[in-house]
Amino acid sequence: MRRNLLIIFFFAYLIPTVILRAEIEIKSLRVYIGSNETSFPVIDFASSDEKTITIDFDVQTTSYPNLIIQFKFCDSNWQPYENQFLQNPLYNTEYNLWLDKIPNGIKGARFHYTGSFPNNNVQFPFSGKWMFFITDSHNKNLVYAAQKFFVVLPGIKLNVQVTRETMQGSFGDKANLGRTLAIKTSFTLPDSLFPSNVRKIEIVKNRMITSPIVIDRNVNNQERYYEWDAARKFSFVARQLRPGNEYRQIDTRSITNYPTETVDARFGEHDQSDLFTKRKRDFNGSSLLLNYRNPNADYQNVVFKLKAPENVTKPIFLVGSFNDWKLLPEFEMYDDKGMMNFSISLKRGVHAYQYVAANINGNRIANADWEILEGNFFETENEYFIFLYYESPEKGGYNKIIGYEKIRTGAL
């Protein structure tokens, strides 16, 4: 009998242990500066009050998850560097995330995390683009969510000029679509840097990190070009930038106005074209969510409805703060007897959004028109975040941000 038990134990030892992990969904992931939920995620070490980012998210799972956050330094195309000198191995991971239990009765999530960086475990020694990845603590390749942010230690003063222009051409009865801005960024390179290593200017409008305005030295045309005096003075110019309109917003914080699990975004009504309607000020594309401790901080199925004009024949997509302003095929609205519809699970709060008309071919979206349903007004207040990139020879070479400026347009 003892021999049989030994044989059973031996074979049990040979069978690999299967670790069952609960399904994990990261929800309402946001990154912002300090405690300002509506701020743009750029750490500016030259500023007195913009030196930390906050990472904030909910987790839907059946049991307490074991998560870590990995931080990676990236090139100007958001590709993490493989160079070991740029991987910061001793200070690139936050282990053992402490998650708070969301109060019982709140629907859509069970745990919440808020963390501030840099800290004792995580440091950002390089000026440029950074990403963080929320992963499983046992398998770092199992990525649940990721997000982007900037770290800058600017040493060069950028002088930015904004002018209003009007595009030439026929717009029919939509003359407001011809209103454009030109942004000119000028600077003088110090003697310690090489003019040939200046790469480009990148401009992010509001929260549209994934679709920046790029003025590259390798591309020169009427809309994007640069000027250089063959010495130390540079100017990079971006033209024909449409200011657009203030974003549409919904505010679902009120349980009186939005009492059920499934609600209409417009409180029982529907959206329509705002081509000729100037909207009120917004948060420049950010969201403002109920605190996870609030007993009403539920997730709801929010239905967006749009009655589009007959002359808009392209497919229509929903974009907003809830999908990081990415124009994605899976956010294409469907036509229900002339009413365009799309539903999404959202936490109670203030959400910014827009409707975009575009062509779609498989997984590729082209010819996007951000203004035909939203309007285009010089008075629209936008934030533009301007970054100057330099090919630094340090640490084996990397794309370094050496200049940074933030401007607001609208009340020029």
Instruction: Please tell me the predicted confidence (pLDDT) of residue 2.
Output: 41
Q: How far apart are CA 127 and CA 223, in angstroms?
A: 28
Domain ranges of the chain: 25-152, 159-244+379-409, 248-369
Same fold, 25-152 and 248-369: yes
Name the DSSP letter for residue 21.
-
Tell me the two tokens of residue 48: 């007195």
Q: Nearest-CA neighbor of 135 among 146, 119, 122?
A: 146
Instruction: List Cβ neighbours of 211 (8 Å cut-off, separation of 6 or more).
Output: 325, 326, 327
- The neighbouring-strand residues paired with 264 are 303
CATH architecture of 248-369: Sandwich (2.60)
Instruction: Please tell me the predicted confidence (pLDDT) of residue 411.
Output: 66
Q: Which residue pairs, CB below 8 angstroms and at least 24 apart, start in 160-168?
A: 160/184, 160/185, 160/186, 160/386, 160/405, 160/407, 161/186, 162/407, 162/409, 162/412, 164/378, 164/412, 165/239, 165/240, 167/240
Q: How far apart are CA 52 and CA 58, in angstroms?
A: 20
Q: Nearest-CA neighbor of 193 among 45, 388, 387, 390?
A: 390
Q: What angle do CA 228, 230, 233 make, to 5 degrees?
A: 50
The size of the chain, in residues, is: 412
Query: Which of residues 97 and 12 earns the better pLDDT score?
Result: 97
Q: Which CATH class for the 25-152 domain?
A: mainly beta
Give the range among 84-98, 172-186, 269-283, 379-393 with minimum mean pLDDT: 172-186
Q: Is residue 358 within 8 Å of residue 370, measured between CB atoms?
A: no
Is 50 exceeded by the pLDDT of residue 16? no
- How does strand 128-136 pair with strand 100-101? unpaired
Query: Which of residues 22 and 71 earns the better pLDDT score?
Result: 71
Q: How far apart are CA 35 and CA 111, in angstroms?
A: 20
Instruction: Please tell me the predicted confidence (pLDDT) of residue 316.
Output: 98
Spell 2-35 as b/e; 16+ CB within 10 A means b: eeeeeeeeeeeeeeeeeeeeeebebbbbbbbbee
Is 90 exceeded by the pLDDT of residue 1? no
Is 50 exceeded by the pLDDT of residue 262? yes
Q: Is residue 68 within 8 Å of residue 95, measured between CB atoms?
A: yes
Q: What is the torsional sign of CA 209, 213, 215, 216?
A: positive
pLDDT band at 302 (very low <50, low <70, confident <90, very high): very high
Is 80 exceeded by the pLDDT of residue 6? no
Q: How far apart are CA 132 and CA 130, in angstroms?
A: 7
Q: Largest Cα–Cα distance of the chain, in whole Å?
A: 94
Interval 379-396: pLDDT, tens:
999 999 999 999 999 999
Is 90 exceeded by the pLDDT of residue 362? no
Is 50 exceeded by the pLDDT of residue 326? yes
**Helical (H) or strand (E) element with 240:** strand 233-241
Which whole number is the average pLDDT over 188-208?
Answer: 97
What does CATH list as the number for 159-244+379-409? 2.60.40
Q: Nearest-CA neighbor of 205 among 130, 102, 284, 133?
A: 284
Instruction: Please tell me the predicted confidence (pLDDT) of residue 9.
Output: 35
Q: How far apart are CA 361 and CA 126, in angstroms?
A: 39
pLDDT band at 169 (very low <50, low <70, confident <90, very high): low
Is 90 exceeded by the pLDDT of residue 4? no
Q: Is residue 312 within 8 Å of residue 62, measured between CB atoms?
A: no
pLDDT band at 18 (very low <50, low <70, confident <90, very high): very low
